[in-house]
């Protein structure tokens, strides 16, 4: 699963985001560098939702933060609408920021508890000096309404008065204030009740159509991903294992890791004895990743070749790419 | 099967600034020896309050507790804090959702576990240390001898949850409450932990109560399921019966809102509109009526009682779905 290679990248004509060979390192304890993202390439075309799936520690959140330039990247390029933002600094970087926004898993702590909802949603407009007061107020009302909140009821209240689902709606409204082109959602529904998850996924879908957004959706849950995305990237320990259209991926997982992820999804039907491939153990430490394919230590099909040689992403038909020496049939 | 645990018309009311908050409004539930029960509901449905009250964890001036909770025929609600502490661990234990806050962050895992064994079971320190290793192996924590010297923050979420489970089963309780044990975990680790809990239940012959918002989690590993809404049980049935023959509209709505792999991609998710009822407000009709697609005038005016449909299946609805 080492999955280097860029076979899955598409021609860049209508790409909103094109990331190539991105490497992100954190300083390790003894002065060495730990690679959290090891040469990832992804692209998102206009109007598309790309999901990034993987377990805790696979580097999916680091990837998102790197793209957002919330943390510094070590090498590689991040092209947002044709500009390599990995190389930008200072004011030049600041001016591209409105084009990309992010929402987080813990929506309650990502909103300033001292500000009222109106002020929270209006703040980006003030920072960027957009519109006069009246126009800003109208925009806030419009945004809150579009995420299913009543501006009259919620506008003068503070985030602590709301539930997790309602806070997530507020952060979506706030993220859309500056009309970004790209919205990165980092596990936006994983701390919500299933009934509320569905509401938020529907809102994201509506917002995407209404504001012409492209989404990057990060999750560990393939069933959530299937509901919202067009294309899915499966990550393991900083590398890509598999890239595929959403429906194709869950029906025909080619990588053994993806197969394990698919079969881990609980099926709400007690009569279905699922042929579950429960993945044993947890991912190895990124400080000392396995040689060759990084998944080989937990893989049921691993051979000597997997230890010696890193598999490359190769095309497997139906828009499906896999980085595995012994893919599932 | 004789009943191990009996909850009878349990009502929990909190005294709040806004007035009495009725978190649990008359729940009756019995759990047989070795039985596994799922309690399912949204945030605010009263499922956590009910389980904590059953553990004897909620007490104090601002909590009004009515009804009864009996373990092997012994009433728990009237016990003093000291009396009930004697039962914790040995007869009744709990696993919480967030293992990071449930473990002591400044003590190493091993000594933290051993302390409980020394205090509760009267073991010597050496015997307790050995038992800790045994327990960690039982919950399939890799390399237990290396983990005991670590602090909780040095373990992953899944490993911490295994430690919590090991602590909960250390004194071989007769009943284990697990409150959202897998919600904070990745799906892969969630599957591992559920497998483990099912396996331990059979091996130790203990009863288990799994509290969750996700019907998918309790579809396997449970014998029966109680669906809670607004502080009440709205439907209860043996697991297979419930999934085959859902009668309450809320159960159906919960079921439909689960994201599934066999649904067409991009298809709109059937969400439950609206929000759960205000636990402080007085209630006249059915708690679910304002959000129910099938509600009529009667549902808004009259409160439905639990109707027994036979085979251990009961529901609280005037116009149940399906029906044979």
**Domain CATH number, residue B17:** 3.40.50.300
C-alpha span between A274 and A266 (Å, rounded): 9
| pLDDT for the residue numbered A275 | 57
**Residue B72 covered by a domain:** yes
Q: What is the pLDDT of residues A62-102, one digit of tens each?
A: 999 999 999 999 999 999 998 999 989 899 999 999 999 99
Buried b / exposed e along B242-267 (16+ C-beta atoms within 10 A): bbebbbbbbbbbbbbbbbbbebebee
ipTM over 0.90: no
Q: What is the pLDDT of residues B235-284, one digit of tens each?
A: 999 999 999 999 999 999 999 888 887 777 667 878 888 778 888 888 88
For chain B, residues with pLDDT lower than 50 are 1, 324
| pLDDT for the residue numbered A117 | 95
Structural domain count, chain B: 1
For chain A, residues with pLDDT lower than 50 are 1-2
The DSSP bridge pattern shows strands B224-229 and B36-40 to be parallel
Interface test with B, best of A29, A193, A229, A281 (most B CBs within 10 A): A193
How many Å separate Cα B189 from the centre of its chain?
Answer: 19
| CB-CB contact of A71 with A24 (8 Å) | yes
**Residue B41 covered by a domain:** yes
Which residue among B243, B265, B270 places its CB closest to the CB of A270?
B243
C-alpha span between B281 and A289 (Å, rounded): 56
**Residue B116 covered by a domain:** no
Segment 224-283 of chain B within 8 Å of chain A by CB: 239-240, 243-244, 253-255, 257-261, 263-273, 275
For residue B135, give the nearest of B200, B89, B55 by alpha carbon.
B200
CB pairs under 8 A between A and B: 141
Q: What fold, for A1-81+219-266+275-329?
A: Rossmann fold (3.40.50)
| pLDDT for the residue numbered B323 | 59
Q: What proportions of chain B, in percent to the nearest 5, are helix, strand and coil?
A: 35, 25, 40
With an 8 Å Cβ cutoff, are A194 and B266 in contact? no
**Residue B123 covered by a domain:** no
**Residue B142 covered by a domain:** no
| pLDDT for the residue numbered B193 | 87
C-alpha span between A239 and A59 (Å, rounded): 8
**Residue B161 covered by a domain:** no
C-alpha span between B164 and B175 (Å, rounded): 15
For residue A50, give the nearest of A240, A192, A314 by alpha carbon.
A240
**Residue B146 covered by a domain:** no
**Residue B301 covered by a domain:** yes
With an 8 Å Cβ cutoff, are B214 and A220 in contact? no
| pLDDT for the residue numbered A109 | 86
**For residue B310, what are the domain limits?**
3-91+173-315
């Amino acid at each position: 699963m080492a999955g280097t290679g860029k076979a899955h990248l598409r021609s860049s004509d209508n790409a909103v985001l094109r990331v190539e060979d991105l490497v992100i390192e954190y300083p390790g304890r003894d002065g060495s560098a730990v690679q959290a993202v090891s040469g990832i390439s992804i692209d998102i075309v206009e109007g598309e939702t790309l999901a990034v799936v993987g377990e805790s520690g696979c580097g999916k959140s680091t990837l998102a933060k790197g793209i957002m330039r919330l943390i510094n990247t070590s090498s590689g390029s991040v092209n947002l609408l044709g500009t390599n933002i990995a190389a930008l600094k200072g004011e030049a970087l600041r001016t591209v920021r409105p084009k990309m926004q992010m929402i987080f898993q813990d929506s309650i702590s990502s909103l300033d508890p001292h500000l009222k909802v109106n002020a929270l949603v209006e703040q980006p407009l003030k920072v960027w000096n957009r519109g006069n007061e009246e126009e800003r107020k109208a925009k806030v009302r419009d945004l809150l309404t579009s995420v299913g909140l009543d501006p009259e009821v919620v506008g003068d209240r503070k985030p602590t008065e709301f539930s997790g689902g309602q806070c997530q709606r507020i952060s979506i409204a706030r993220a859309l204030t500056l009309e970004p082109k790209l919205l990165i959602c980092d596990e936006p529904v994983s701390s919500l009740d299933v009934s509320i998850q569905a509401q938020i996924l529907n809102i994201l879908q509506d917002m995407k159509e209404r504001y012409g957004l492209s989404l990057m959706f990060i999750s560990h849950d393939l069933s959530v991903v299937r509901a919202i995305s067009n294309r899915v990237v499966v990550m393991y320990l900083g590398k890509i294992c598999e890239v595929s259209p959403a429906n194709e991926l869950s029906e025909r997982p080619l990588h053994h890791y993806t197969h394990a992820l698919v079969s881990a999804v609980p099926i709400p039907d007690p009569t279905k004895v699922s042929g579950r491939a429960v993945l044993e153990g947890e991912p190895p430490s990124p400080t000392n990743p396995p040689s060759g394919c990084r998944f080989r230590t937990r893989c049921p099909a691993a051979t000597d070749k997997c230890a010696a040689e890193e598999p490359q992403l190769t095309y497997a038909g139906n828009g499906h790419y896999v980085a595995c020496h012994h893919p599932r049939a | 099967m004789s009943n191990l645990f009996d909850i009878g018309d349990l009502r929990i009311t909190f005294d709040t600034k806004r007035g009495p908050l009725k978190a649990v409004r008359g729940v009756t539930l019995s759990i047989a020896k070795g039985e596994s029960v799922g309690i399912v509901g949204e945030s605010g449905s009263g499922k956590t309050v009910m389980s904590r009250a059953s553990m004897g964890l909620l007490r104090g001036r601002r909590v009004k507790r009515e009804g009864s909770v009996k373990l092997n025929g012994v009433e728990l609600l009237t016990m003093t804090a000291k009396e009930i502490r004697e039962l914790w661990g040995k007869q009744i234990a709990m696993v919480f959702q967030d293992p990071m806050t449930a473990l002591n962050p400044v003590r190493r895992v091993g000594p933290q576990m051993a302390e409980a064994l020394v205090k509760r079971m009267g073991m010597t320190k050496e015997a307790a240390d050995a038992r800790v290793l045994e327990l960690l192996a039982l919950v399939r924590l890799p390399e237990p001898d290396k983990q005991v010297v670590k602090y909780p923050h040095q373990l992953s979420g899944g490993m911490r949850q295994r430690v919590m489970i090991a602590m909960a089963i250390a004194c071989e309780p007769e009943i284990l409450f697990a409150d959202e044990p897998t919600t904070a975990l990745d799906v892969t680790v969630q599957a591992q932990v559920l497998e483990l809990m099912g396996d331990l239940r059979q091996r130790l012959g203990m009863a288990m109560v799994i509290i969750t918002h996700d019907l998918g989690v309790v579809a396997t590993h449970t014998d029966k399921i109680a669906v809670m809404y607004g502080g009440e049980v709205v439907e209860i049935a043996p697991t297979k019966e419930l999934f085959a023959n859902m009668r309450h509209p809320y159960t159906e709505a919960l079921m439909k809102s689960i994201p599934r792999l066999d649904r067409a991609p991009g298809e709109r998710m059937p969400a439950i509109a609206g929000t759960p009822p205000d636990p402080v407000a007085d209630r006249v009709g059915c708690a679910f009526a304002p959000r129910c697609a099938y509600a009529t005038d009667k549902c808004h005016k009259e409160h439905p009682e639990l109707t027994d449909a036979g085979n251990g299946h009961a529901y609280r609805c005037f116009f149940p779905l399906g029906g044979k």
